[in-house]
Amino acid sequence: MKRFAPALVLVLAGCQNFGYQAPYGDDTAQITFTSNDTAAQPAICVPGKGFQSTEYSIAQKPMGGDALNDLLETMKKSTEVTTTLAPSSQTRVGIIYNQKHPNSTQRDRCRVALQFEAVAGEHYQAVFNYSQAQCGLSITDSQGQSADAVRVDWECP
């Protein structure tokens, strides 16, 4: 396994298609994406550039030890994905879900996006839920209160 790891890293690195460049500094908000143990890709709307995938994607909780955790890290997957946002009254975040059915060529796919007001210094929780062929996304603030996010089309003005 160890001799294949460098080749696997190169193959996986070539497959990564992230582009979100997180802002930094004191005048930012944070958001942590999680799921109901469903693998998915968080995305942030960058005006003029569209939705940009975060560097890490949401992974299912690993059932193994350190070797599996190391593999997930190499593949840029984590059960929680945290990034920063520029404060805005029209912040848009989303999730891309695309999973193949076992032993089939069929896929379950969806994209869901929410718009909310991101306030500097706040830390938001975005929870993706996939159940019975339905995608859901909710956002709460650091106090556990709804961020009053509204579902929007997958557009990034």
Full DSSP string of 5-27:
HHHHHHHHHHH---------SSS
Domain that holds residue 109: 5-152
Is 146 inside a domain boundary? yes
The mean predicted confidence, pLDDT, of the chain is 85
Give the chain's residues under pLDDT 70.
1-18, 62-75
Residue 13 forms part of a structural domain = yes
Read off the pTM.
Answer: 0.81
Establish if 109 belongs to a structural domain.
Answer: yes
Residues 99-129: tens digit of each pLDDT: 877 787 888 889 999 999 999 999 999 999 9
The answer to the question of residue 54 being in a domain is yes
Q: Which residues pair with 30 in a beta bridge?
A: 84, 123
Looking at the domain assignment, is residue 157 inside a domain? no
Element (H, E) at 57: strand 57-58
The total number of structural domains in the chain stands at 1
Q: According to the model, what pLDDT value does residue 129 have?
A: 95
CA 102 → CA 21, 69, 108, distances in Å?
34, 23, 11
Tell me the Ramachandran region of residue 150: left when phi exceeds 0, alpha when psi lies from -120 to 50, beta otherwise.
beta
Q: Are strands 77-78 and 57-58 parallel, antiparallel or unpaired?
A: parallel
Residue burial 119-141, b: 16+ Cβ < 10 Å; e: rest: eeebebbbebbbeeeebebebeb
Note whether residue 117 is domain-resident: yes
Q: Which two tokens stand for residue 153?
A: 């089309």
Question: In angstroms, rounded to a whole number, what is the distance separating the alpha carbons of residues 39 and 37?
Answer: 7
pLDDT of residue 8: 40
